[in-house]
Amino acid sequence: MIARFAADAAPLWPEGARLGVAVSGGADSLALLLLANAMRPGEVEAATVDHGLRQESRGEAEHVARICADLGVPHAILPVVVPPGNVQAAARTARYSALAQWMSERGLAVLASAHHADDQAETLLMRLMRGSGLAGLAGVRALGVVPGSRHRLIRPLLGWRKHELATLVRDAGIEAIEDPSNVDDRFDRARLRKHLDEADWLDPQAMAQSASHLAEAEEALQWAASAEWGAHVEQDAAGAISYRPNAPRAIRMIVLGRGIRELGGEPRGGALAELLDALEAGQGGNLAGVLATSEGGKWVLRREPPRR
């Protein structure tokens, strides 16, 4: 298994770069810790984020600390405060902020998380049911950036099944926490996960591979959209952006979204599609504080004037 993991992780984890592993105490993240430490002993540290939302969370973090001590891996418990409201989103933001700060303090260049093929399959199915576009269906990527920072984020287990990771941890004689709370969208997935486990005709590993192919297609679209932007978008001294469309709809959508972001807005998928429909019909509209009009074959984006 070490050779297999090394083949997956080596392209993502540069030589000489110290690795931080986010470990919740579940079998997935414990397996990642074991594999990474076996691949490059002495170059790995671990951290457990304690969201403080359950009475058990501190004990679970201390359980991980004891496992790391036995392995000789430095470990930190990172307590965070999660504000009320959208708990899942707030917890995710707090978690990555704490991990990024820990990485900076410890001189860690790369963070590894334990997303695996079953996670990827669940994400793909959930987003299919929500009617997501290509970017959403691509799922999580093997290589990214820790949100809110410039640290590299890697997911070297996307080709691994959950049961393989659980077996690895059990064979190592380590007790995993049965259902640790990562306070992410896993609770929304409970019913889907149950049905996925019961549907033996579904292959999560093949679905994860499909998500990888979709990610490659999304990268190609982004490349084409960047070329479209460079050739057909202009911005005047007043800041208005003019775009003369010369590409298929999917690329026009990306360019339009980029234009809105350039002017300080944050477009959402459904609303962005509606604005695109209006512009293609020669009309216009406003979205996220940006006014869009169709003028002589061009789409012109301007910041909305301040309200009186």
> Could you give the percent of the chain with pLDDT greater than 70?
93
User: Is the Cα dihedral 216, 119, 165, 208 positive or negative?
Assistant: negative
C-alpha 253/C-alpha 257 separation (Å) is: 6
Domains present along the chain, CATH in parentheses: 2-202 (3.40.50.620), 212-303 (no CATH)
Which span out of 110-119, 127-136, 184-193 was modeled with the highest average pLDDT? 110-119
Does pLDDT of 10 surpass 80?
yes
Pairing of strands 241-243, 233-235: antiparallel
Residue 263's pLDDT is what? 92
Q: How far apart are CA 247 and CA 121, in angstroms?
A: 31
Query: According to the model, what pLDDT value does residue 305 have?
Result: 79
Provide the angle, in degrees to the nearest 10, between the axes of the packed helices 204-232 and 117-129.
60
End-to-end Cα spacing for the chain: 65
Find where tokens 């930190």 sit. 76
Q: What is the C-alpha separation between 20 and 49, in angstroms, rounded?
A: 13
The overall average pLDDT reported for the chain is 88
- The whole-number pLDDT of residue 181 equals 45
Tell me which of 175 and 85 has the higher pLDDT: 175
Q: Helix or strand or coil: residue 240? A: coil
pLDDT-based confidence at 97, cuts 50/70/90? very high
Predicted pLDDT at 296: 87
Q: Which two tokens stand for residue 64?
A: 């991980």
Residue 42 DSSP code: T
Long-range contacts of 303-308 (CB under 8 A, 24+ apart): 303/239, 303/263, 303/264
Q: Tell me: the pLDDT tens digits for 154-213? A: 999 999 999 999 999 999 999 998 754 444 444 466 677 776 777 777 777 787 788 788
Q: What pLDDT score does 287 carry?
A: 92
Indicate whether 280 pLDDT > 70: yes
Assess contact for 228 and 299: CB atoms under 8 A: no
* Amino acid, single-letter form, for residue 205: Q
Strands 298-303 and 152-154: unpaired
Q: How far apart are CA 89 and CA 185, in angstroms?
A: 9
Q: Where are the alpha helices (DSSP H) in 149-268?
A: 162-171, 190-198, 204-232, 249-262
- In this prediction the pTM is 0.74
Q: Compute CA distances 153 → 72, 122, 149, 272, whole Å.
A: 23, 21, 10, 29
pLDDT in tens, 134-152: 777 777 888 999 998 999 9
What is the pLDDT at residue 247? 94
Burial of 153 by CB count in 10 Å (0-12 exposed, 13-18 middle, 19+ buried)? buried
Strands 19-22, 110-112: pairing is parallel
Write down the pLDDT at residue 141.
Answer: 86
Question: Quick one: pLDDT at residue 55?
Answer: 81
pLDDT attached to residue 270? 78
Say what the pLDDT of residue 85 is: 66
Residues 300, 283 contacting (CB under 8 angstroms): no
pLDDT of residue 269: 67
| Calpha distance 299→243 (Å, rounded) | 5
